[in-house]
Amino acid sequence: MTLNIILLGPPGAGKGTQAVRLEDEHGMVQLSTGDMLRAAVKAGTPIGVQAKAVMDAGELVSDEIVSGLIGERLDQLGSDVSVIFDGYPRTAAQAQALDGILSARGRKLDHVIELQVEEDALVDRITGRFSCAKCGAGYHDRYKLPKVEDTCDVCGSHEFKRRPDDNEETVRTRMAEYRAKTAPILPIYEARGIVTHVDGMAPIDEVNDAIETILATAGQSVHPAPVIEAPRGTG
Ligand code: ADP
Ligand code: ADP
Ligand code: ZN
């Protein structure tokens, strides 16, 4: 059963953190346009060169570029791979593009999970965010420190990095962009009855539990599972 899920929420809501958990636990694949764009910046591709200043300012990269990246990445995946869209779509035009991108590949959007967070917490979340320079594992100065000081839990590296756009001023712009351009796409999905809201202020494990419950239900309602259970009431 293939699932196509959007994790929606403002910068710092926990989308990346939860997407990686779903990758680890279910073999789903995280499609993060932010990660794709940062890779393009690092590689110095034409898209990266164009995107860098926009990202540093906390503004949105063009719909054509990010939708193009998503389509390319989906084409590299098998049609039986379940995906989590993280940080995409971010505008009504991207939401519309995604419908076409999915249907052209025999896929369909199963569920949108909105991580609801208090805006005051976001600056704190984002200015405390850092990651492993070698494997990219995500951490936080207060909420998710490595288990052994200065040592990545995943790969053992001692080198960490912070994003240039994770400063208070840029975060304010990113939050304003979210309010103005991304939040308005929620009603589109609500009208289709595929949105579930999750309390993103809860601890990371609890948010993960809530998402797991939604996925179990989404999977069943969309693609009924074959009945393989033994009859009940025999114990
Ligand atoms: P997003 O991808 O939505 O921008 P991240 O997943 O990168 O957000 O999370 C932002 C920061 O907040 C990270 O440093 C992460 O470790 C931390 N974080 C994520 N979820 C929670 C949570 N539920 N409670 C506390 N901190 C969290
Ligand atoms: P966060 O989840 O912390 O907001 P991302 O890593 O998703 O950050 O995005 C970082 C930056 O990359 C954004 O501020 C924006 O400039 C650009 N970006 C990422 N995804 C998109 C998108 N879908 N549309 C437009 N710009 C994007
Ligand atoms: Zn690491």
pLDDT at 235 over 80: no
pLDDT at 87 over 60: yes
Q: What does the alpha-carbon distance between residue 151 and residue 155 come to, in Å, rounded to a whole number?
A: 8
The pLDDT score that the predictor gives to residue 1 is 80
pLDDT at 94 over 60: yes
CB 147 within 8 A of CB 153: yes
pLDDT for 6-62, tens place per residue?
999 999 999 999 999 999 999 999 999 999 999 999 999 999 999 999 999 999 999
CB 125 within 8 A of CB 12: yes
The pLDDT score that the predictor gives to residue 22 is 96
Rounded percentage of the chain residues whose pLDDT exceeds 70: 93
pLDDT at 225 over 50: no
CB 98 within 8 A of CB 70: yes
Q: Which ligand minimizes its atom distance to the CA of 202?
A: 1
Average pLDDT over residues 139-150: 97
The pLDDT score that the predictor gives to residue 217 is 83
Q: Which ligand minimizes its atom distance to the CA of 157?
A: 3
Indicate the average pLDDT of the chain.
Answer: 93
> pTM for the whole thing?
0.93
CA distances from 52 to 37, 62, 231 (A): 8, 12, 58
Indicate which residues carry an active-site annotation: 15, 90, 129, 163, 174
Nearest Cα residue to atom 23 of ligand 2: 88
pLDDT at 226 over 80: no
**Which of 174, 182, 185 for mutating ligand 2's site (highest number of atoms within 8 Å of CB)?**
174
pLDDT for 186-206, tens place per residue?
999 999 999 999 999 999 999
Nearest Cα residue to atom 5 of ligand 2: 34
Rounded percentage of the chain residues whose pLDDT exceeds 90: 89
Q: Sign of the CA dihedral 185, 173, 34, 134? A: negative
pLDDT at 227 over 90: no
Pocket of ligand 1 (CB under 6 A): 9, 11-17, 125, 128-129, 138-140, 143-144, 203-204, 207
- Residue 120 pLDDT grade (very low, low, confident, very high; cuts 50, 70, 90): confident
